[in-house]
Amino acid sequence: SPRVSAHLAVLAGDGIGPEVTAQAVRVLRAVAEAYGHIFELEPALVGGAAIDATGAPLPPETLALCQRADAVLFGAIGGPRWGPSDKVRPEQGLLALRKGLGLFANLRPVTVNPRLAAASPLKPELLAGVDLVVVRELTGGLYFGEKRRDAASAFDACVYTVPEIERVVRVAARLAQRRKKRLTSVDKANVLETSRLWRETAERVVRTEFPDVALEHQLVDSCAMLLVTRPAAFDVIVTENMFGDILTDEASVLAGSIGLLPSASLGEGPRGLYEPIHGSAPDIAGKGIANPYGTILSAAMLLRLSLGLAPEAAVVEAAVADALARGVLTADLTRERPVGTEEAGTAVIHALKRLA
Ligand code: NAI
Ligand code: MG
């Protein structure tokens, strides 16, 4: 790739967030060194750490930095110190950041490393060849609809507009074009009006704008079943907010550990937010044993999707696969002589230097 100069915001957050983010930062520096890029990595406060320091989960200067930056690398936020009944909570930082950056599509790739098939509860033969991405709509649906409550009843509205559906379907269809060109749109069109609009809109957008992508529609209940019975049959899945929340957690089980999986949140432009799918893991925080691979793979997605550095991203992914293949496994992946967080990061950097 031609030399790139990029400004990256690094929001490490709480719990194991700083531990895993530190390893992804080391890997990004190694990429810059190997390829002659210049990455300016600027840290900022978010979540509980930001509440403790400033009273706000997303300080204005953190949002301003993220809006200036080419991309955001995010660790994790939250923990037992900031209770569910507190008025100001760490998770509000992530929601405000998604909103402030206009992020509406959450991408969660799931691949299964053959070395780790045993870590998954599913049979290894079912897992062979799994390589899928779930694209979840992030801003609409039940989670953001009007809510009401009286003594005897409760109400949650599910609303989707045509532009909201169009833009996330476009993200998914573009992604499918760079993969196996197969897109599965998931809805509940036999019951829900929003799902009927979703299905019609997906059909029109893909047919008129992405004629090379093969689109199929699936009901969410049958998709949930197929994800564990025939996971290798999927390429790209696109779905609304709540269905995506549930299906992405289900799909994450395929890989064997939550610590392995990356994610990207995208909007209209190239700027995105990249984070592992796991949380702040208070039960293991501070011990130096967290799995950093999901965060390192999130940094690879950042290179590919926000900076246009696809070859570098592929090398980082290959370096993680190499470390796994050599048995450099953290405690969530093995009981026999697990390595620590930093050792796993070092193994990736060694592999990267060989592969770059
Ligand atoms: P969690 O993902 O933090 O942890 C679930 C289990 O997986 C724990 O046993 C943990 O030790 C393990 N785990 C997670 N990441 C790991 C890694 N990299 N390596 C090894 N093991 C790992 O979810 P939990 O416990 O439900 O939530 C903890 C806190 O994180 C809560 O405050 C929650 O609100 C927050 N959270 C934050 C998210 C974010 O920042 N995007 C997402 C999910 C939860
Ligand atoms: Mg979830």
Is the domain of 125 the same as that of 248? yes
Q: Which residue's CA is the nearest one to ligand 1's atom 23?
A: 279
Is the domain of 348 the same as that of 246? no
Assess contact for 298 and 320: CB atoms under 8 A: no
| 309 within some domain | yes
Is the domain of 247 the same as that of 280? no
Q: What CATH number should be reported for the domain holding residue 76?
A: 3.40.718.10
| Amino acid 94: pLDDT | 94
Q: Model confidence at 338, in pLDDT bands (50, 70, 90)?
A: very high
pLDDT digits (tens, 9 = 90+) for 38-84: 999 999 999 999 999 999 999 999 999 999 999 999 999 999 999 87
DSSP codes joined into one string, 122-186: S-HHHHTT-EEEEEEE-S-STTTS-EEE-SS-EEE-----HHHHHHHHHHHHHHHHTTTSEEEEE
Is the domain of 159 the same as that of 177? yes
Q: Which residue's CA is the nearest one to ligand 1's atom 4?
A: 281
Is the domain of 148 the same as that of 214? yes
| 111 within some domain | no
| 109 within some domain | no
Helix axes 293-305, 17-35, angle to 10 degrees: 50
Active site residue 235: no
Q: Which residue's CA is the nearest one to ligand 1's atom 27?
A: 279
Is the domain of 160 the same as that of 229? yes
Q: Which residue's CA is the nearest one to ligand 1's atom 40?
A: 76
* Cβ within 8 Å of residue 21, ≥6 positions away: 10, 12, 13, 73, 74, 75, 295
Is the domain of 251 the same as that of 264? no
Q: Which of 99, 180, 181, 188 is catalytic?
A: 188
Structural domain total, the chain: 2
Q: Model confidence at 322, in pLDDT bands (50, 70, 90)?
A: very high
| 152 within some domain | yes
| Amino acid 256: pLDDT | 85
Active site residue 188: yes
Structural domain of residue 307, as residue ranges? 1-104+260-356
Active site residue 353: no
Closest ligand to 247 CA?
2
Q: Model confidence at 287, in pLDDT bands (50, 70, 90)?
A: very high
Please classify residue 307 by burial: count the beta carbons closer than 10 Å to its beta carbon, then call 0-12 exposed, 13-18 middle and 19+ buried: buried
Is the domain of 246 the same as that of 267? no
**End residue of a domain, out of 194, 226, 255:** 255
**End residue of a domain, out of 229, 255, 281:** 255
Is the domain of 251 the same as that of 131? yes
Name residue 225's amino acid: M
196: CA distance to ligand 2 center in Å? 25
Is the pTM higher than 0.80? The answer reads yes
DSSP helix/strand/coil, 97: helix
Length of the chain: 356
Helix axes 310-325, 341-355, angle to 10 degrees: 120
Mean pLDDT, rounded, of the chain = 96
Q: What is the mean pLDDT of residues 110-135?
A: 89
Distance (Å, rounded) from C-alpha 178 to C-alpha 171?
Answer: 11
**End residue of a domain, out of 203, 228, 255:** 255
The residues placing their C-beta within 5 Å of ligand 2, an ion, are 245
**β-bridge partners, 107:** 135, 264
Active site residue 245: yes
Cα 110-39-341 angle, rounded to 5 deg: 50
Is the domain of 34 the same as that of 90? yes
- Residues at the binding site for Mg(2+) are 221, 245, 249
Is the domain of 134 the same as that of 52? no
Q: Which of 143, 156, 180, 181 is catalytic?
A: 143
pLDDT digits (tens, 9 = 90+) for 166-200: 999 999 999 999 999 999 999 999 999 999 999 99
| 331 within some domain | yes
| Amino acid 83: pLDDT | 81
